[in-house]
Structure formats: structure tokens, C-alpha cells
Amino acid sequence: MRIVIAGGHGQIALRLERLLSARGDEVAGIIRRAEQGDDLREAGAEPVLLDLESASVEEVAAHLQGADAAVFAAGAGPGSGAARKETVDKDAAILFADAAVRAGVRRYVIVSSMGANHRHEGSEVFDVYLRAKGEADEYVRGLAALDWTVLRPGMLTNDAGTGLVRLEAHTGRGPIPRDDVAAVLAELIDTPATTGLTLELVSGSAPVTVAVKSVAGN
């Protein structure tokens, strides 16, 4: 498969790129800064220099041509203000989805956040973040041209992955290593029967492949 990942230098994306390239997939990661390219190459991915905050739908779609799947794993990051939650976590996610439709890429997985809700209230930066993520999710879920899956991980950690997770429509809050998020994403890409599902993810007791199979088609 050819898979294009938005936010290609993110912590989850780099882990995902290693997993996908190791299993033989062709992977491209969209990055904003050229100096990030070596990290992607080391992970086995092709760096694509493109700023999703200023690119047009046509420019993004050109890089999605011929892809079998698109993964939105970009984020403004914890140090950013409310404005970039809007321009990255919401607007860039919508742009990437529109570009996938334009390029004819049906399989689309978006990394959201537990608690994301387009109706979330409040004016703090984290409130804006949850609302932006929720608005992006709502937009993607309204696109009939995409075979979408929304993944909402719990509290992200850098602990070593265990390969054991809980993946359900509602899990309740909990931590999840980024390693395990990447493993679940790799499995979701390969499981189109999860199309149309919004799934929460925390650490649990089910092996990743079992957890994904158990929700597929539900």
C-alpha cells in the first residue's frame, strides 16, 4: 500500500512510519520543515515538504494521488496557542480530508482526542483544542466519499508499548503509550471494516489485532 501521513514528524507519525515501512508499505509523511526530512528517511518514509496551514486543496491532493490510504496525525502541539488549534487541529484536518476526496483516496484515518466535541464549551486553550478536534471529526464523518475511521486516544505517554489495548466506542479515560497508538493505526488502515466508527483507545488487555477485529463491522 501507499500511505500518506499528515503531520509526518509527529511522535505518533514517526512510530507509524517505522511500522508501515517495516512491513513493506510505501509511506510518505508531510512535514513543514526541511530539516525534519532525515528523521522521516530514517523511519523509512519519504518526506513531503508542504505547509498544511497555507497549502491549497489542489496542492495537497497532488501529493495524495495514487495513495491507498491517508492518515491525519498532525497537531499544533502542546506549546501552541488557541489560534493554531484552529488552523492545524481543525482547518488542516478538513483540508487534508477534502484533498483525499479530490485525489480519490477513500481510506481515511484521523487521529483525534478523547473528549473531542464540536459542542465543547469554554475559552481556555484546551477547550479550543477539544472543540477544534471535534469540529474536524464532525466534518470528516460527513464526507460520504471517504471510508473514515476516527481514533480518539486517551492520555498519551512515551512508555514502551505493551501491544495490549482497549478499543471501543467508549472506554473511559486512561493512558496509552504512543507505540500502541501507532500499532492500532497500522491495523486500522488495513481494516476497512472499521469504516464509519469513532473509537476510543486506552491501554487494556486485548492484543491490538484482536481489539481491532472485535470492533470491525460493528
* Segments making up each domain of the chain, as ranges: 2-216
Give the cell for residue 176: 496509552
Can you tell me the distance from the alpha carbon of 133 to that of 113, in angstroms, rounded to the nearest whole number? 7
Reported as a single tens digit per residue, the pLDDT across 185-203 is 999 999 999 999 999 999 9
pLDDT for res 181: 98
| φ, ψ at 38 (rounded to 5°) | -60, -35
Query: Is 129 annotated in the active site?
Result: yes
Least confident interval from 38-52, 113-127, 143-157: 113-127
Residue 24 — pLDDT band, cuts 50, 70, 90? Answer: very high
* Catalytic member of 100, 129, 132, 153: 129
pLDDT for res 80: 80
What is the value of pTM for the model shown? 0.95
Distances (CA, A) of 95 to 29, 74, 78, 196: 16, 12, 21, 19
DSSP assignment letter at 161 = P
Dihedral over alpha carbons 16, 18, 23, 27 (to 10 degrees)? 70
Question: Would you say domain 2-216 falls under CATH 3.40.50.720?
Answer: yes
